[in-house]
Amino acid sequence: MAPTITANSSGREIPNSAPVSVETIVVPDPGPGEALVKVEACGVCHTDLHYREGGIGDDFPFLLGHEAAGRVEAVGEGVTCVEPGDFVILNWRAVYGTCRACAKGKPWYCFATHNAAQRMTLLDGTPLTPALGIGPFAEKTLVAAGQCTKVDPAAPATAAGLLGCGVMAGFGAAVNTGAVGRGDSVAVIGCGGVGMAAVVGARLAGATKVIAVDVDPSKLERAARMGATHTVDGSTADVVAAVRELTGGFGADVVVEAVGRPETYEQAFYARDLAGTVVLVGVPTPEMKLELPLLDVFGRGGALKSSWYGDCLPSRDFPALIDLYLGGRFDLDAFVSETIGLGDVEKAFEKMHRGEVLRSVVVL
Ligand SMILES: NC(=O)c1ccc[n+]([C@@H]2O[C@H](COP(=O)([O-])OP(=O)(O)OC[C@H]3O[C@@H](n4cnc5c(N)ncnc54)[C@H](O)[C@@H]3O)[C@@H](O)[C@H]2O)c1
Ligand SMILES: [Zn+2]
Ligand SMILES: [Zn+2]
């Protein structure tokens, strides 16, 4: 049993006064193919807030959290990829090599990914829905063994855990999905934890111009410190005109949309050069609609892509990014705005809402 944070409602209407609560839960011993992980740190991602607001389904109560690192405590029958004591980052894309995407050599889409077969529950037996099949705002969580990716234990869990979602998603949106290369110009719209990682990724991949766009001046200051060559305040500037002006009048080769709104997607669409690439990594909500002249979609050419989890391959990308971090070339610590306790998640949501943090990280 372990105390955890769960959404405490059974409907979409969640009272703002008590939307999450710390509860005691029952975590089963790992069965075949499962691993029990002692969580050491877990970042608070905007997607957790989407869950708590009912934006990602109605399967309350949710066991929140999905951006974590910890130690494997026990494994079930047949598990060979990890063993007790391993330091792991939890991933929400376990790659099994058997599905149609894997068969085509595109395992970063693996459609066979799955979570632990057994459910964690409240004390009264109510089954919990772990966010993205992980749920590590908890002392312990039960996952499919393939959701554990072993990395160098020299990295602190507060930094390593961030690769489990937001930082990997943003980094991969630029580097994997957007295929940013040497000499490219890149614009990133929305510089929270995800967008900021796209800024850093674009720089590491060799982009010579990296334009950070946000409506919060403090995010822009931070983006400049973390590698953006230019910044645009979307609350005052015409974003499309500003990005075009900074790119010789043409637009950026790659524009990463890391907000998840139709208006920022439209900005991304028109702020990219002809035949350029738009990468949508921000997650929209179900009611959002996009309207674009079809002639512009055709006439501007290029690629309109979505980035699920930065198109990452955890076994390839997590250890490599940890090695970059340990080598001083990728400052993951700069994403950790504060460390907090398990009871502070609601406050962290408020700070995220006010744009005060890149990442609040729960330390267990
Ligand atoms: N695709 C994926 O696999 C994946 C993974 C993780 C998170 N996400 C999504 O990425 C998005 C960003 O997540 P985050 O954790 O960085 O959130 P966040 O709240 O920390 O950051 C969002 C940023 O967007 C800025 N912003 C808001 N409105 C804007 C506007 N009109 N123009 C420019 N900037 C604006 C905010 O000021 C903030 O800095 C969310 O939608 C989240 O759900 C996607
Ligand atoms: Zn697969
Ligand atoms: Zn996330």
Dump pLDDT digits (tens) for 202-246. Answer: 999 999 999 999 999 999 999 999 999 999 999 999 999 999 999
Number of other residues whose CB lies within 10 A of the CB of residue 275: 10
- Mean pLDDT of the 264-285 span: 97
Rounded CA-CA distance 84/136 in Å is 17
Rounded distance from Cα 49 to ligand 3 centre (Å)? 9
Residue carrying the six token digits 């035949």: 275
Which pairing describes strands 209-214 and 121-122: parallel, antiparallel, or unpaired? unpaired
Domains 2-164+331-363 and 170-307 share a fold: no
Proximal ligand: closest to the CA of 258: 1
58 pLDDT higher than 90: no
Rounded distance from Cα 123 to ligand 1 centre (Å)? 35
Per-domain boundaries in the chain: 2-164+331-363, 170-307
Extract the tokens encoding 95. 């790659």
148-174 pLDDT tens trace = 999 999 999 999 999 999 999 999 999
- Inter-CA distances, 332 with 12, 157, 160, 254, 269, Å: 35, 11, 8, 23, 29
pLDDT at 7: 52
**With bands split at pLDDT 50, 70 and 90, how would you rate the model's confidence at 18?**
very low
Q: What is the pTM of this model?
A: 0.93
Share of the chain above pLDDT 70, in %: 95
1 pLDDT higher than 60: no
2 pLDDT higher than 80: no
pLDDT at 4: 59
pLDDT at 343: 94
10 pLDDT higher than 90: no
Q: What is the CATH number of domain 170-307?
A: 3.40.50.720
More confident residue, 300 or 18: 300
Rounded CA-CA distance 27/234 in Å is 45
pLDDT at 6: 60
Q: What is the CATH number of domain 2-164+331-363?
A: 3.90.180.10
- Whole-number average pLDDT of the chain: 94
Mutating to test ligand 1, I would choose from 42, 47, 309, 338 the residue with most ligand atoms within 8 A of its C-beta, which is 47
- Mean pLDDT of the 279-290 span: 94
Proximal ligand: closest to the CA of 114: 2
Instruction: For residue 363, count CB atoms less than 10 angstroms from its CB and return exposed for 0-12, middle for 13-18, buried for 19 or more.
Output: middle
pLDDT at 5: 64
Ligand 1 and 307: CB distance under 6 A? yes
**With bands split at pLDDT 50, 70 and 90, how would you rate the model's confidence at 56?**
confident
- Mean pLDDT of the 48-72 span: 92
Cβ neighbors of 98 (< 8 A, separation 6 or more) are: 112
340-362 pLDDT tens trace = 999 999 999 999 988 889 999 99
- Mean pLDDT of the 188-196 span: 96
